[in-house]
Structure 1
Amino acid sequence: MSNIRQRAEEIAHKNGTDELQNFENLSSAEIKKMVHELHLHQIELELQNEELQRVQRELEEERKRYFDLYEFAPIGYCTLNEHGVIVQTNLTAALMLDHHQSALLQQSFSTFIIHEDQDIYYLYSKQLLQSGSNPICELRMFKSDQTLFWTNLTTTIVRDSNNIPQWRVVISDISERKKYEIQLQHIAQYDPLTSLPNRILLADRLHQAMAQTNRHKQPFAVLYLDLDGFKNVNDTYGHEAGDQLLVALATNMKRSLREVDTIARIGGDEFVILLLNLNDIQACVPMLNRLLESTQKPVLIDNQMVKVSASLGITFYPQIINVDADQLLAQADYAMYQAKSAGKNRYYVFVPEENESIRSN
């Protein structure tokens, strides 16, 4: 304000002599009219000043409302520079990541994405730059205490006043939805009694195993297992006792297998097992024996020791002729019935006729 006043005085001083001479030549009426005009002009300036102050107050209120909406929005906002570095963030994003806002600035956004999902973010960024569209991106981020949470990212690319691109990233916490989806997926793919994979998940893993074998030429085995004497347990002790026995035996059988193998319950007392990555057919024999032994372990149910056994049918993939997944299961099922017919508590192998070295035990 002092600079403006100083400039005004300089201009007034410069023009003062001519203005004073003109003023001396005015009549009394002209002077009164001039004073009146000056008075009106002053009032106009005061009214304009009041209006300007009102607009400034409204702008300040709007700014505060925008600030509150931005800072305390239910979703996180981050602005990234062209290198993916955070240059601005709201309070919600900071709370999501459990960091102070200032601590997030100048940090790479990808720093807060878990290692396993880095490729998802990379491909998302690449697609965003190439197409300009906003593909769906769901990935896991972590807080300062390493707690994981699921997020959905929505990104818009804008340019600043210097035409430099910036990324406006909206972060939504979808942990609850993901938790619900995982629960639904588990219900759809796992047996509710034993928590083993069901038919749906077994079919998926069987097709995966076949595809892997077609690429790497490493055999795998399909086992069809049926408990011997299970109906007698149900008839003698009741279905609840039968369920307890199934749970116990499922645990025993799973422990006898390797981490890469799959055991699925496909109904009643029937199970299917996939033994993967076999060097040769003979390599599965120790696992077959361990599996049969695991079904013979007595189980304590209502103070009674209950014991059953199992009949096991085995087939292998690949074979001389082309077979599909359903044919493999049918072969293993057929071999299982052969094991039952031969006396139960044993395995029977369905293999090409020229290799019968481990047909039954």
Structure 2
Amino acid sequence: MNQINSRNFYKAELATFDKRLGSLDLFDQAAPLVPIGAWSCDLISERLNWTDGVFDIFGLSSDDALDREAAIGLYCEESRELLEHKRSQAIENCGGFTLDARIVRPDGNERWIRITAATRGSNGRTEMLFGMKQDITDDRLQWELLRAQAECDPLTGVANRARFQRFLDQPSNGSASNDIDTLILFDIDDFKQINDRWGHAAGDACLVNLANNLRKAFVNAHLVSRIGGDEFAVLLPSSVSRAQTKVQLQSLIASLLRPIQWNGCLLTLKVSVGFAFVCKDGKYNPQTLFAAADEALYCAKNRKIFPTACL
């Protein structure tokens, strides 16, 4: 009886082993169909192990010596910082993480990869990180295209209110807002009268003209956005000096005063401007900055002056 049980046990083990071999064989056959590979990192020695798929993703040869410091150097700065942060948390908590990161291969080709990581250890101590890396560049490009389309004003071609709202919804001094120095708001005066007298097609021509002038005048802007029916916003980085901003605005206003030719008619466009500067220490709240610029715009429309605010 014991011999029969032993025989059945080994048969079951053999069947399980064959099944595992079949799964591994299936994985090996399917792996070349997508740019994906497995990796591991021994945390004691910092020694990396990559499958051929990971070498291909990074544009390296499997004959190349693997060095973690050199591999980390292929990540773009923001992705590298996120990776190190998530990695440290995973090691500390004996957990895992997922991260989409941007790398620059040795040939200069930029790629987006998705990293999935898990940990292995004993006695509450993490000893190894391991997981998968997949090239998601094509998916990322499609996603960026869809997002750009969703955040683009179809009439003027600049960003729409949804894109500007992403800026407003950021926390104070968030990473994406650290380099903001100036917010400028533009509003077309008596825009309704243009629509009423000349028709909405004429009003559309005025909006397109203003958007084109803003893009040409502020080529270094972080964002040019149509945030209302006849209102636009421009976000400038700290690399553009405030004196330069005022000169650009004076020149822009002068160009906007020139009549617009439309269907044989000359349309006169008048625009009010209000803007706010960030404090010298760079600390600000996006909503507060917007409120200050909006108040300056209100003053400009009512007093016909050129006001500024500084937070």
Pairwise same-fold verdict (TM > 0.5): yes
Unaligned runs of 5+ in 1: 1-51, 353-361
Report the alpha carbon displacement of residue 334 of structure 1 after superposing the two structures with TM.
2.3
Go from structure 1 to structure 2 and tell me whether the alpha carbon gap of 1:71 and 1:307 turns closer, same or farther (over 3 Å shift). same
Moved over 6 A (4+): 58-62, 207-210
Assess if the C-alpha contact under 8 Å between 2:152 and 2:159 holds in 1: yes
Q: What is the aligned partner in structure 1 of residue 85 from structure 2? A: 123
1:309 matched to 2:273 = no
Report the alpha carbon displacement of residue 132 of structure 1 after superposing the two structures with TM.
1.0
Q: What is the aligned partner in structure 2 of residue 146 from structure 1? A: 108
Report the alpha carbon displacement of residue 283 of structure 1 after superposing the two structures with TM.
7.0
Q: What is the aligned partner in structure 2 of residue 168 from structure 1? A: 130
Aligned 1:189-338 pairs, distance under 5 A: 189-205=151-167, 220=182, 222-226=184-188, 232=194, 236=198, 239=200, 242-257=203-218, 259-260=220-221, 262-274=223-235, 285-297=246-258, 304=264, 307-314=267-274, 316=276, 324=288, 327-328=291-292, 330-338=294-302
Look up the SS of the partner of 1:309 in the other structure. Answer: coil
Report the alpha carbon displacement of residue 291 of structure 1 after superposing the two structures with TM.
2.1
Correspondence for 2:27 among 43, 61, 69: 69
Report the alpha carbon displacement of residue 285 of structure 1 after superposing the two structures with TM.
4.0
Look up the SS of the partner of 1:314 in the other structure. Answer: strand
Question: Whose helix fraction is larger, Structure 1's or Structure 2's?
Answer: 1
**How many pairs are equivalent?**
280
Go from structure 1 to structure 2 and tell me whether the alpha carbon gap of 1:248 and 1:166 turns closer, same or farther (over 3 Å shift). same
Report the alpha carbon displacement of residue 226 of structure 1 after superposing the two structures with TM.
1.0
Assess if the C-alpha contact under 8 Å between 2:37 and 2:132 holds in 1: yes
Go from structure 1 to structure 2 and tell me whether the alpha carbon gap of 1:330 and 1:78 turns closer, same or farther (over 3 Å shift). closer
Report the alpha carbon displacement of residue 309 of structure 1 after superposing the two structures with TM.
2.6
Rounded Cα–Cα distance in structure 2 between residues aligned with 1:68 and 1:105: 29
Rounded Cα–Cα distance in structure 2 between residues aligned with 1:71 and 1:104: 25
Rounded Cα–Cα distance in structure 1 between residues aligned with 2:95 and 2:233: 45
Assess if the C-alpha contact under 8 Å between 1:313 and 1:335 holds in 2: no
Q: What is the aligned partner in structure 2 of residue 178 from structure 1? A: 140
1:103 matched to 2:67 = no
Look up the SS of the partner of 2:270 in the other structure. Answer: strand
Of structures 1 and 2, the one with the larger relative CO (CA 8 A, separation 6+) is 2
Report the alpha carbon displacement of residue 131 of structure 1 after superposing the two structures with TM.
0.8
Rounded Cα–Cα distance in structure 1 between residues aligned with 2:95 and 2:270: 57
Report the alpha carbon displacement of residue 330 of structure 1 after superposing the two structures with TM.
4.5
Assess if the C-alpha contact under 8 Å between 1:223 and 1:274 holds in 2: no
Report the alpha carbon displacement of residue 139 of structure 1 after superposing the two structures with TM.
0.6
Structure of greater Rg = 1
Look up the SS of the partner of 2:155 in the other structure. Answer: coil
What value does the CA root-mean-square deviation take over the aligned residues? 4.6
Q: What is the aligned partner in structure 1 of residue 99 from structure 2? A: 137
Give the alignment's TM-score, normalised by structure 1: 0.58
Look up the SS of the partner of 2:307 in the other structure. Answer: strand
Question: Whose strand fraction is larger, Structure 1's or Structure 2's?
Answer: 2
Report the alpha carbon displacement of residue 87 of structure 1 after superposing the two structures with TM.
2.8
Look up the SS of the partner of 1:267 in the other structure. Answer: coil
Rounded Cα–Cα distance in structure 1 between residues aligned with 2:108 and 2:181: 40
**What is the aligned-residue identity percentage?**
18
Give the alignment's TM-score, normalised by structure 2: 0.66
Correspondence for 2:119 among 154, 157, 173: 157
Rounded Cα–Cα distance in structure 2 between residues aligned with 1:256 and 1:266: 18
Assess if the C-alpha contact under 8 Å between 1:151 and 1:175 holds in 2: yes
